Structure 1
Amino acid sequence: MKPYTLHLLRHGAPEVPGLLLGRTDTASTAEGIAACAAQASGLAVETLISSDLTRCHAAATAIGEASGLPVTTDPRWRELDFGDWDGLPGSAIDAEALGRFWSDPDAHPPPGGEAWSALAVRVSAALTDLEPHPTLVVTHGGAIRAALHRLCGFDQRQLWSFDLPYGVLVSLQVWPGAAHLVAIRP
């Protein structure tokens, strides 16, 4: 099979910064949505997919309107569910518990939340279901890290070394069926 391009775009800055936002459905700022639309401008894609959460879907809708592409919503591209911590600032969470989570998010998931491996499984399933043609997915930082884990083989510690600011675009070349499926595009 021939390779295809996969673009992963993190949603724009949320209206209330500094919170652990997993399943909490909050909007992005107008500037954040515009930044995402600017990142996507000129990308040659045939498919536009979005997490079902507002902070992604609003940017995908703006991109779709500009490009003429319909938006497909897929909840598997959601952020990690932070459970009892969802929607809270880091300062409101026990520092030791939060440190254990950041050190090993699979062994120490947030109380009532999702383990890292569950996020990786659902994002992997979403990746497997992609058609092999140029695609843009508007998603979250955790989902992008899970995709890089699946596609590039990065482990958890390596994934946290990536800076994925709001509105960042990660472009990959995917070879369907390969053990590690991608090369990062310049």
Structure 2
Amino acid sequence: MIVLLRHAEAQGGQGRFIGGTDLPLSATGQAQAEALAAALAPARPRAVFASPLARAQATARPLAEALGLPVGTLPGLAEIDLGTWDGQPREAVRAADPAAYAARGRDFTHFRPPGGESFAQLQARALAALATLTTLAKETETAQVAAERSSRTPALPAPDIAPACAPGNAMAHFEPGAARFAASPPSGPVVAVTHAGVIRAVLCHALGMPLEHLFRLEPLHARATLLRPRPGGFTLLAFNLPPAAVAPLL
């Protein structure tokens, strides 16, 4: 299973286009991150990943530390790149370029702000990142089945098992301590801390919903989306779960 978390509340984003702009967590966000760690650690996640942006990393860190794991950084989980609009007040962008602002509202799927990316491009890279998470999730399930079988049979010498994430993996970057992560036994789900735009784009794919309707979905800060990988996509198991409700479902 994959647990997608929207990062905890960030400081200074109100009324602005916030994509790649790097914001710290607010005091409320820091408390939310600690609450997430306390709620999810008992489920013993197999791995903890995050977007490279500071608000996602700071949300993931308390959970990773509680588990003795590093935070694996996946660039594909980053929020949409809004180019020259990034960090600007929404009303200032509307006033400076009303035609472009209106064009975005007519075509959320393909519109690209100057120097930025479209939601179609975001969806493509987000799904590529989730392919990495899916591989880990499937390895976890396979290991769990093997463990259940071995518990019912005489013990045998353990074979050598290659690390789940080889150093040459171009999609995932691990901070120091990655060797300990690679050696840790598979256990619970794979957790990934990301952003509202990524979760919306992934859910549109999972639900077969046109990407132009992505803003009908409203991922909340520090809430969980549960996905089960299946051939060709994902099954949505839960959306916007509060931290305390997540662990019993894992």
Classify the TM-score, shorter chain.
0.7 to 0.9
Map 1:85-164 → 2, pairs under 5 A: 85-94=85-94, 95-130=98-133, 131-132=136-137, 133=140, 134-164=189-219
* CA contact 2:37–2:62 (8 Å) conserved in 1: no
- Separation of aligned partners in 1, 2:221 and 2:124: 23
- Separation of aligned partners in 2, 1:140 and 1:148: 12
Change in CA separation of 1:152 and 1:69 when aligned onto 2, cut-off 3 Å: farther
- Separation of aligned partners in 2, 1:99 and 1:37: 40
Mean CA deviation greater in 95-104 or 5-14: 95-104
SS at match of 2:29: helix
- Separation of aligned partners in 1, 2:100 and 2:220: 24
SS at match of 2:124: helix
> How many corresponding residue pairs?
180
Q: Rg: which structure is higher?
A: 2
1:9 corresponds in structure 2 to 5
Structure 1 unaligned spans of 5+? none
Residue identity in the other structure for 1:124: L
Instruction: Please report the RMSD computed on the Cα atoms of aligned residues, expressed in angstroms.
Output: 1.9
1:36 corresponds in structure 2 to 33
* CA contact 1:173–1:185 (8 Å) conserved in 2: no
1:182 corresponds in structure 2 to 235
- Separation of aligned partners in 2, 1:40 and 1:171: 16
* CA contact 2:93–2:101 (8 Å) conserved in 1: yes
Following superposition, the deviation at residue 13 of structure 1 comes to: 1.8
Q: In the alignment, does 2:83 pair up with 1:79? A: no
Q: After the TM superposition, which segments of 4 or more aligned residues of structure 1 sit over 4 Å from their partners?
A: none
- TM-score when normalising by structure 2: 0.66
Structure 2 unaligned spans of 5+? 141-188, 240-250
Mean CA deviation greater in 92-101 or 80-89: 92-101
Following superposition, the deviation at residue 40 of structure 1 comes to: 4.5
SS at match of 1:36: helix
Following superposition, the deviation at residue 21 of structure 1 comes to: 1.4
* CA contact 1:34–1:59 (8 Å) conserved in 2: no
Residue identity in the other structure for 1:143: V
Residue identity in the other structure for 1:7: V
Change in CA separation of 1:87 and 1:70 when aligned onto 2, cut-off 3 Å: same
Residue identity in the other structure for 2:194: T
- TM-score when normalising by structure 1: 0.87
Give CA-to-partner distance per residue, 1:21-71, whole Å, 9 cap, x none: 111112111321321332353332211000011011011112212232321
SS at match of 1:98: helix
* CA contact 1:49–1:74 (8 Å) conserved in 2: yes
Change in CA separation of 1:41 and 1:159 when aligned onto 2, cut-off 3 Å: farther
Residue identity in the other structure for 1:15: Q
* CA contact 1:9–1:136 (8 Å) conserved in 2: yes
